[in-house]
Amino acid sequence: MKLVTAVIKPHKWEDVREALETFGVTGMTVSEVSGYGRQKGHTEVYRGAEYDIALVPKIRIEIVVDNDDADDVVGIIVKTAQTGRIGDGKVWVSPVETVVRVRTGDRDEAAL
Amino acid sequence: MKLVTAVIKPHKWEDVREALETFGVTGMTVSEVSGYGRQKGHTEVYRGAEYDIALVPKIRIEIVVDNDDADDVVGIIVKTAQTGRIGDGKVWVSPVETVVRVRTGDRDEAAL
Amino acid sequence: MKLVTAVIKPHKWEDVREALETFGVTGMTVSEVSGYGRQKGHTEVYRGAEYDIALVPKIRIEIVVDNDDADDVVGIIVKTAQTGRIGDGKVWVSPVETVVRVRTGDRDEAAL
Amino acid sequence: MDTGDTAWVLTSAALVLLMTPGLALFYGGMVRSKSVLNMMMMSFSSLALIGVIWVLYGYSLSFGNDLGGGLLGDPTDFWGLKGLMSPDALVFTVPSLAFVAFQSVFAIITVALISGAIADRARFGPWLLFSWIWATIVYFPVCHWVFDFNGSTGTDFVGGWIANNLKAIDFAGGTAVHINAGAAGLALALVLGKRKGFGKEAMRPHNLTLVMIGAGLLWFGWFGFNAGSALGANTLAAVTWMNTLSATAAAALGWLLLEKIRDGKPTSLGAASGIVAGLVAITPSCSSVSPIGALIIGFLAGIFCALAVGLKYKFGYDDSLDVVGVHLIGGIWGTLSVGLLATASAPAAVDGLFYGGGVDQLWRQAVGAGAVLAFSFIVTLVIGFAIEKSIGFRISEEEEVEGIDGVEHAESAYDFTGSGGGSGFASGHLAAATAPTQEGVNA
Amino acid sequence: MDTGDTAWVLTSAALVLLMTPGLALFYGGMVRSKSVLNMMMMSFSSLALIGVIWVLYGYSLSFGNDLGGGLLGDPTDFWGLKGLMSPDALVFTVPSLAFVAFQSVFAIITVALISGAIADRARFGPWLLFSWIWATIVYFPVCHWVFDFNGSTGTDFVGGWIANNLKAIDFAGGTAVHINAGAAGLALALVLGKRKGFGKEAMRPHNLTLVMIGAGLLWFGWFGFNAGSALGANTLAAVTWMNTLSATAAAALGWLLLEKIRDGKPTSLGAASGIVAGLVAITPSCSSVSPIGALIIGFLAGIFCALAVGLKYKFGYDDSLDVVGVHLIGGIWGTLSVGLLATASAPAAVDGLFYGGGVDQLWRQAVGAGAVLAFSFIVTLVIGFAIEKSIGFRISEEEEVEGIDGVEHAESAYDFTGSGGGSGFASGHLAAATAPTQEGVNA
Amino acid sequence: MDTGDTAWVLTSAALVLLMTPGLALFYGGMVRSKSVLNMMMMSFSSLALIGVIWVLYGYSLSFGNDLGGGLLGDPTDFWGLKGLMSPDALVFTVPSLAFVAFQSVFAIITVALISGAIADRARFGPWLLFSWIWATIVYFPVCHWVFDFNGSTGTDFVGGWIANNLKAIDFAGGTAVHINAGAAGLALALVLGKRKGFGKEAMRPHNLTLVMIGAGLLWFGWFGFNAGSALGANTLAAVTWMNTLSATAAAALGWLLLEKIRDGKPTSLGAASGIVAGLVAITPSCSSVSPIGALIIGFLAGIFCALAVGLKYKFGYDDSLDVVGVHLIGGIWGTLSVGLLATASAPAAVDGLFYGGGVDQLWRQAVGAGAVLAFSFIVTLVIGFAIEKSIGFRISEEEEVEGIDGVEHAESAYDFTGSGGGSGFASGHLAAATAPTQEGVNA
Ligand SMILES: Nc1ncnc2c1ncn2[C@@H]1O[C@H](COP(=O)(O)OP(=O)(O)O)[C@@H](O)[C@H]1O
Ligand SMILES: Nc1ncnc2c1ncn2[C@@H]1O[C@H](COP(=O)(O)OP(=O)(O)O)[C@@H](O)[C@H]1O
Ligand SMILES: Nc1ncnc2c1ncn2[C@@H]1O[C@H](COP(=O)(O)OP(=O)(O)O)[C@@H](O)[C@H]1O
């Protein structure tokens, strides 16, 4: 099993979700995070005092997948989330030893 | 060392925390996330326009544990968080190479 | 590639970011999480009813790095985030098989 | 007709109207974020429903000529407010409809007050049904007893028994509003039972800034409530205004002091609660005590109510937002305080026990308070059980866990994600627009 | 001069002023969290800009002696409000400046109302320019037509054509305010086009508690709007006050009922929207119908507007916050309702169709409504396109995605992290303070 | 007694009361989310504490017969407001207690204004102590100087020196309220020192919608503040009302324009700040200038204050929410502007420098402003240091990092998790209920 973690631009979330669903990914876990990188934040002004907001809102997606699917899933995310502009995000893959479905206690492939 | 990541229903958090404490887990890191899966979201209505809220609130727990404890911890979480209804969540285990306690610089077993 | 995950005290975030930047880390992903551990939460009182707030706000940082940099990055975080008081947090390192930059499709070292 | 008096009564009526949205905020901020809309809707629906039935028959039941025994007004007198648009229709020195307006908002807020006792768990339809029945068979009669004075619209006009026969002094509604709503709240809390997790889980206020806004608006509006009850812009109005300030300020201090001593810290929820406690207690007594008397009444109201909000844990009833602790206890104390602290130098010109007046006024106050308490509690129990047993009053335990806002209103209060518009993390997507336009959406 | 009347008009003016911040909240809560500040700023800027031009020439254009045909007031009459501080300057029984004040806040809110149609996408500078031009060439003239009565300041004073020649009854502004703003909103929504994602993505209200606060403040202020339009504290004011309550309560019920039937659940947004719909509909008619008539007008307003808000999906214009559905439709219905439900027993002393008055008043109402609708729609289209084609009115698609608050105001509305102060998760850091003090920061 | 005047004064008093909760929101929205409750509590505690001492002796110190030299009222005259409930007790044409009420809320808000200078770091108990002492030895005397007019309650009544001897014009409190609070704020900011991270870390407003609600309520209430100071419903009240609108609208424009030019974007915080700046500046001058004069005063107030808020970075004092920049600078400008722009055609009937009146009025204004500034600044420094050195005024650095809401009030403002009730992510659990009921919880 692999864990695919993707950090993408928030407005791409809906597209990515659809593309993954079409591919057959049935579940994922999503959170709102802040990104720090080449894409710089923005500036806000309050009573003449300027604030640099260093962080950029991003969406973080975690998907546990079969070993075989990992590459495809990464490919789909990269393709769908790409805008070509700085800040599109990263996707990384890490090993998972086991996964369990809480409802049934099923393990690994059966748990997805 | 292993990292146990669990995504569970929010109202089970308190029970899971207690069960893990009883078992001897002294620390964990928790966050509010959104889940996407078999359990569907709900519908909201604003001025006659219906919105499908696709995501379901979940709690994500991360626990770094000794290799030996990983299975027990997974077992406890699965048992405690189970309601038998769709959406109970997933638990997965991945390898951790080292863990450090920031306060002391202690490593691995000593860091937990 | 390695994934360094650090859970630290929120007011140390700015220092850690600066130290990492100086070292040459160009990107990371950050989120607000709740910690549970030796550091206890606090008590709030509403109309005479006391509430124990078990969780403590923490910042969680994820950095994908080259194998060679992992130890340095861990060291920098531990050094910078240390206050010596309970609750300083944990840092752990786990293996990453591949990482992709969404914008370009670059992989691994090139993706950072 | 006096234009100055009319200006003040119209202003006061608007001020009192604002109290119900104020209450919605005060209550709404105290519940969890998954129930705030339902909480607010119980107040807003009172504005809607009671507003309508007040026009149709409520005013007439309350302020029609007495049907006998000072128990109820004649519903045929002013059905649909008939005849009251005439320039000749006056109540004391103001146009009748100004008085109708002023009293309408009293009926509305009294019903809304009850809802604090049953936060997070009452189905909305049954709540509406309850409101309707309760206003009709509890509030309108009690309003007649307390607020309908002989001679108000002409020399042969006959009003209610508490005002005219018992001669209890309840200037702006310690009995009719606060004891009435408080007793009803207690009864409903018993009927509906405890929330899942009551006494164990954290049910702390989700947004204390809303509570503070609400408390501020309530205080503001309450000047209309109390000083407006003078039905004119005169010394009586000025006295009641100033007593309303004095008691409220002292009550907030009292509550904070008690918290400091008992819990170690004075809280903002305590300040907001103390404000409301003081306002409740001075409501019946503002015309009959001096500003110093008002300070005493208020300060003790703050102490008493701060102690009383703990009773629910002791006795195990889930009066969620302390309608009993604040309105029932505060209302009883305020009503009795007239018997103790009234001074003949105040506009009501009566001496209470501590001013040498003996117990004459005190027993009148006690009888008035007791009568309203008992009547309201018993009738509310009956209405509540009838609804619970017939159509069901409470949402299911699972729905409670899910949150009543979604269950009863298909809404959630907040969405702070940067969602939609091609940006942000869309927490959802538009599925369909209002039925007739379904095509449009997919176009 | 009558002090009671003056007290009421000054109070009413303050109440109406509060409506614009109230509207800012009502609208602000309905947009996404990335646009709430811009939404509120469109209302607040109206307070600023229209307040200033009203003093400079707006009042004079609106209420100066008629220049001919009842079309426009003489701008030289009261330029800079000259001459109006004199104790002799009266409008009916109140000081002229009290009337100036009362009318100023009408102009302000009418402009602010329009902004709901163009949420999330209008550049702020062009919006200011639009407001300025629109107030000058649309609102001030229409205000003159509808609100400027012959003889108000002296026997030979001549006012506007709708009030005096057509004799349509528009007591507090169904045409001048609501149809006017609603038609302009429709025109601007067409000019600016749809938001990215309109009809597909979730653009649900980000903070319904703000919407409820806003609705509460609007209702409160609206008593000044309607009953203040009596320009005195008298029976007329009392009647309009009470009709305002009746219609609004009934409209909220109507909207909730429709939702229950059509969508399955009554919502808090529905209650808030019903309140506004009822207030809009009773605005023109509150002086001419009975409280029962008001109940009917309000209830139907709730139904009509709840149905009308779906039209934008059908026809595909992005009237973001339903200015058309609520203000245009509600305003038309309210204006026509006078022709149907007016009763001679009400202060306006006219019988409508259903009270045996035939169609005489109805056609007057229809002509008034139609004239204002057409004038406002056409002129607004022209102004809007002129701005769009010259300096550009709309932000870019990318900016829309990013959020207009940051783009146009360099701010974001909320920061709930425990940031800064050596604590919390600093979402940013101070880069520079106001120019002249740059050194200080680095010191 | 005049009922119209009384209606207006009572209404105004309620409006001014609302300003303090309004201020609590305005200030509360500007701090970080970990300090909003403490910020609001500094205002609410002023309502409580100053309300009580006003009744006990504050009114008498302020408005008792002069003890000599126009410096202080006789505290024995109206101790506990004695004797003022009588129908014969009048101030001009209104009941004495109406005037007492109106002035009470001035004292309350003046104290509350100061708190903006010391956001996030003042212990609550010492703040209460400070408020008490400051009101007693600074505000009540200054109030006597400025607002207590010879002859107000009878021909031989003697008031304060600024009003009667110096004859500076401070209609509604440019000196007594704004310079007074602003100077005290500066002194306290110096006593308490800078917040950890001041000038480096992000301390941006956590909730700008609260700031906007607050600004709206302040503006609304300020009509009572200014026009209510006419103590009657008359031409003077109408003039001051309209000037209050004019100046405020112009000030918001001025502030936004400066921001646009200097920072590139006009902000919502700028609009809200401009509103307050305009209100401050027109407070002393609203009775003596024309609406055009008011536009000028307001516009320049917007510019001046927008520039002045940067001074704290330059000079390195942490006036957290710009009490100096807005209230001190705005108050000085407004007070001096009377000497420049007063016109004899306005009710105060004085010509300023630009209207040919020479410098006669200008020096009076300058002396009044300077006297209050110096007195307030020096005495506040002394009180502040005395408290800091004895019981300590400031929380520790660690507590500052943790957040003052938890430290001083054991509360946190927001909990948006779907917590408790068997549902949601319980961020905590009930540990114990109020002491006497401990058993109940475990039952
Ligand atoms: N080394 C890293 N580890 C974890 N997350 C990263 C890393 N580098 C970048 N990110 C995430 O990816 C996002 C995009 O990175 P950025 O450098 O801005 O643009 P790009 O990926 O297009 O070069 C960042 O906002 C951050 O959330
Ligand atoms: N492949 C996956 N990777 C990561 N998280 C998942 C995955 N599948 C499901 N989840 C998480 O588990 C939750 C429950 O999954 P769901 O399919 O709804 O029910 P069940 O686990 O009972 O079959 C989801 O809401 C999501 O947060
Ligand atoms: N086993 C663990 N797995 C994951 N996170 C942990 C674990 N133990 C502690 N943490 C995180 O580290 C934080 C600090 O731990 P704590 O025990 O309070 O102090 P310390 O690390 O100084 O001993 C916790 O709040 C939690 O977020």
pLDDT in tens, D9-61: 999 999 999 999 999 999 999 999 999 999 999 999 999 999 999 999 999 99
Sign of CA dihedral D376, D377, D379, D383: positive
Q: Letter for the amino acid at D408?
A: E
pLDDT (0 to 100) of residue F127: 98
Range list of H helices, F264-352: 268-285, 291-308, 311-315, 323, 329-341
Give chain A's end-to-end CA distance (angstroms, integer).
10
CA–CA gap between residue F216 and residue E47 (Å, rounded): 10
The type of residue at E223 is F
How far is it, in rounded angstroms, from Cα D27 to Cα D272?
Answer: 11
Ligand 1 pocket, residue A41 CB under 6 Å: no
CB-based contact C78 B102, cutoff 8 Å = yes
Task: Determine the pLDDT at residue D433.
Answer: 65
Q: Is C59 in the pocket of ligand 3 (CB under 6 A)?
A: no
State the Cα torsion F49-F50-F51-F54 to the nearest 10°. 130
* Domain harbouring B15, CATH code: 3.30.70.120
- The closest alpha carbon to B64, from C37, F434, F217, belongs to C37
The alpha carbon of residue B97 is apart from the nearest alpha carbon of chain F, in Å, by 31
Which residue's alpha carbon is nearest to atom 6 within ligand 3?
B28
Q: Which of E29, E31, E33 is nearest to E213 (CA)?
A: E29
Instruction: Tell me the pLDDT tens digit for each residue of F76-100.
Output: 999 999 999 999 999 999 999 999 9
Domains in chain B, number: 1
Beta-bridge partners for B58: B33
pLDDT in tens, F54-63: 999 999 999 9
In sequence order, which residues have a C-beta less than 8 Å from that of residue B104 and are 6 or more positions away? Answer: B111
Please provide the DSSP assignment of D342-355 as one string.
--TTSTT----GGG
Nearest-Cα residue of chain D relative to residue A61: D425
pLDDT tens per residue across span E310-339: 999 999 999 999 999 999 999 999 999 999
A103 CA → ligand 2 middle, Å: 10
Note the pLDDT of residue D425.
54
Residues E103 and E62: beta-carbon distance below 8 Å: yes
Per-residue pLDDT, averaged over E152-179, amounts to: 95
Q: Ligand 2 centre and the CA of A29: distance in Å?
A: 7
**Ligand 2 atom 21: the closest Cα is on which residue?**
B89
In one-letter notation, the amino acid at residue D429 is H
The answer to whether the CB atoms of A103 and B88 lie below 8 A apart is yes
- Rounded to an integer, the average pLDDT of E285-314 is 97
D200 contact C CB<8A: no
- What helix, strand, coil percent values describe chain A, rounded to 5? 30, 40, 30
Q: Across the interface, do A52 and E412 touch by the CB < 8 Å criterion? A: no
pLDDT of residue D434: 58
Task: For residue range F252-268, list pLDDT tens digits in order.
Answer: 999 999 999 999 999 99
Instruction: Work out the angle between the directed axes of helices E96-114 and E124-134 (0-180°, nearest 10).
Output: 130
d(CA C24, CA D351): 83
Res. E425: pLDDT tops 90: no
Q: How many residues does chain F have?
A: 443
Separation between Cα atoms, residue D147 and residue E186, nearest integer Å: 49
What amino acid is encoded at C70 in this protein?
Answer: A
Q: Which two tokens stand for residue D190?
A: 């018993």
Nearest ligand to the C-alpha atom of residue A64? 2
F443 to each of C52, D58, D187, D200, D307, how far by Cα in Å? 18, 44, 21, 10, 19
| pLDDT at position E434 over 70 | no
What is the DSSP code string of D94-136? Answer: EEHHHHHHHHHHHHHHHHHHHGGGGTTTB-HHHHHHHHHHHII
Instruction: Considering only the beta carbons, identify the residue of A58, A78, A95 that sits closest to C29.
Output: A58
Nearest by CB: C51 against D204, D309, D313: D204
Above 70 in pLDDT, residue B16?
A: yes
Cβ–Cβ < 8 Å for D40, E268:
yes
Angstrom distance (rounded) from CA D265 to CA E32:
37
- Is residue E128 over pLDDT 70? yes
Q: Which pLDDT belongs to residue D200?
A: 82
Among the atoms of ligand 3, which is closest to the Cα of residue C39? 18
Question: In terms of residue numbers, what domain contains A45?
Answer: 2-111
Q: Is F348 exposed, middle or buried (0-12, 13-18, 19+ CB in 10 A)?
A: buried
The C-alpha atoms of residue B57 and residue E284 are separated, in whole angstroms, by 47
Q: Which residues from chain A sit within 8 angstroms of residue C99, using beta carbons?
A: 90-93
Q: What are the tokens at D61? A: 């039941």
Query: Taking CA atoms, what residue in B is nearest to A28?
Result: B36
| Token duo for residue D203 | 């049910």
Among candidates A75, A61, A51, which has minimal Cα distance to A27?
A: A61
Residues 31-90 of A with CB under 8 A from F: 44-51, 53
Contact flag B10-F422 (C-beta cutoff 8 Å): no
Residue D181, min C-alpha distance to chain A (Å): 44
Q: Which atom of ligand 1 is nearest to the CA of C30?
A: 27
Neighbouring residues of D11: CB distance < 8 A, sequence distance ≥ 6: D224, D228, E7, E8, E11, F7, F11
CA-nearest of F408, F34, F123, F38 to D265 is: F408
- Rounded Cα gap, residues D58 and D103, in angstroms: 10
Nearest ligand to the CA atom of B32: 2
Ligand nearest to the CA of C21: 1
pLDDT tens-place string over residues A51-60:
888 888 899 9
CA of A38 to the centre of ligand 1 (A): 7
Minimal CA separation from A41 to chain B, in Å: 23
Spell out the domains of chain E, with CATH numbers in brackets: 3-390 (1.10.3430.10)
Mutate to test the pocket of ligand 1, among A4, A8, A36, A92 (most ligand atoms within 8 A of CB): A36
Nearest bound ligand to CA A69?
Answer: 2
Q: How far is CA D334 from the centre of its chain?
A: 15
Give E5's contacts in chain F (Cβ within 8 Å): 4
Ligand closest in space to the Cα of C38: 3
Nearest ligand 1 atom to alpha carbon C26:
8
pLDDT tens-digit map of D356-378: 999 999 999 999 999 999 999 99
With a cut of 90, say whether residue E274 has pLDDT above it: yes
F143: tokens are 């109030």
Average pLDDT, integer, range E376-399: 97
- Predicted pLDDT at F180: 98
- Contact between E273 and B47 using a beta-carbon 8 Å cutoff: yes
Is E301 in contact with E265 (CB distance < 8 Å)? Answer: no
Helix locations, chain A, DSSP H: 13-23, 70-81
What mean pLDDT is reported for chain E?
94
Q: Please name the residue ranges forming H helices in E31-139.
A: 36-53, 59-63, 96-114, 124-134
pLDDT band at E430 (very low <50, low <70, confident <90, very high): low
Question: Which two three-digit tokens encode residue F189?
Answer: 């900011």
Closest chain B C-alpha to A11 CA, distance in angstroms: 15
Helix axes E268-285, D36-53, angle to 10 degrees: 30
Q: Report which ligand 1 atom has the smallest distance to the Cα of C62.
A: 4
Cβ A85 under 6 angstroms from ligand 2:
no
Residue type for position E262: R
Q: Positive or negative, the Cα torsion across D221, D226, D232, D237?
A: negative
With residue E260 as reference, give the H or E element that holds it: helix E235-263
What is the number of other CB atoms lying within 10 angstroms of the CB of residue D158? 16
The CA angle F240-F241-F246, to the nearest 5 degrees, is 90
Question: Has residue E52 got a pLDDT over 80?
Answer: yes
Residue E364 has pLDDT above 60, yes or no: yes
Name the neighbours of F, counting chains with at least 3 Cβ pairs within 8 A.
Answer: A, B, C, D, E
pTM of the model: 0.96
**Nearest CA to E256 among E204, E222, E313, E298?**
E298
Residues of chain E neighbouring C14 (CB-CB closer than 8 A): 426, 429
Q: Which atom of ligand 1 lies at the shortest distance from residue A36's CA?
A: 25
Model confidence at F46: pLDDT above 80: yes
Chain A residues whose CB is inside 8 A of the D429 CB are 14
> If you ran DSSP here, which 8-state letter would residue F358 be given?
T
Interchain proximity B33–A28, CB inside 8 Å = no
Short-list B27, B85, B78, CA closest to B56: B85
Q: What would the pLDDT profile of E253-271 be if each residue is shown by its tens digit?
A: 999 999 999 999 999 999 9
CA atoms within 13 A on the CB side of D306: 33
The interface predicted TM-score (ipTM) is: 0.96
| CA–CA gap between residue D185 and residue D23 (Å, rounded) | 15
How many helices (H) and strands (E) chain D has is answered by 19, 3
Task: Give the integer Cα–Cα distance in Å for E175 and C42.
Answer: 58
Which residue in C11, C14, C42 is closest to F406 by CB distance? Answer: C42
What number is the average pLDDT over the span F215-228?
Answer: 98
What lies within 8 Å, CB to CB, of B71 at 6+ separation is: none
Residue nearest to atom 5 of ligand 3 (CA): B28
Q: Is B38 in the pocket of ligand 2 (CB under 6 A)?
A: yes
Strand (E) or helix (H) holding C59 = strand C56-65
Whether residue F423 and residue B14 make contact (CB cut-off 8 A), yes or no, is no
Q: Which of F204, F217, F263 sits opposite E415 (nearest CB)?
A: F204
Q: Judging by beta carbons within 10 Å of its beta carbon (0-12, 13-18, 19+), is residue F261 exposed, middle or buried?
A: exposed
CA dist list (Å): E389 to E383, E394, E398, F269: 10, 10, 20, 31
State the Cα–Cα distance between residues B87 and B37, nearest whole angstrom: 7
Question: Chain F partners of B14 at a C-beta cutoff of 8 Å?
Answer: 426, 429
